[in-house]
Amino acid sequence: MGVAVVVGAPMQGDPFWDPIAFSWPLFGIFLAIAVVLTIGFVVWMVLQPEEPDHDTTDLVDKATEHDRDRARTIRRRLDADSGRADASEPELR
């Protein structure tokens, strides 16, 4: 069945099977665009800095300490809610 469809299909001159005629100039334009975009992408990737230009250690340390303090407070509140700690501290209310 599949062989009969392929053999019976008109391959030459039918616009369904060959909607756009092959064109070397069009192929060259597409190839040139692809090459230029590839080279541009590679150059852009090479020029990207690996690390930020400014030191972010203080910001990271501050954020980490804030997160740890927040986690410590939440842990103490949960302990106070469950009766494992004193709930009379003002911070835990």
pLDDT mean over 13-28: 79
Question: Rounded to an integer, what distance in angstroms lies between the CA atom of residue 75 and that of residue 91?
Answer: 12
**Per-residue pLDDT, 12:** 62
The model's pLDDT over 40-87, given as tens digits with 9 standing for 90+, comes to 999 999 998 777 678 888 999 999 999 999 999 888 888 888 877 666
Give the number of other CB atoms < 10 A from CB of residue 87.
Answer: 14
Q: Would the pTM of this model clear 0.75, i.e. be above it?
A: no
Local confidence band at 3 (pLDDT 50, 70, 90 cut-offs): low
Question: Rounded to an integer, what distance in angstroms lies between the CA atom of residue 16 and that of residue 25?
Answer: 23
The amino acid at 9: A
Local confidence band at 22 (pLDDT 50, 70, 90 cut-offs): confident
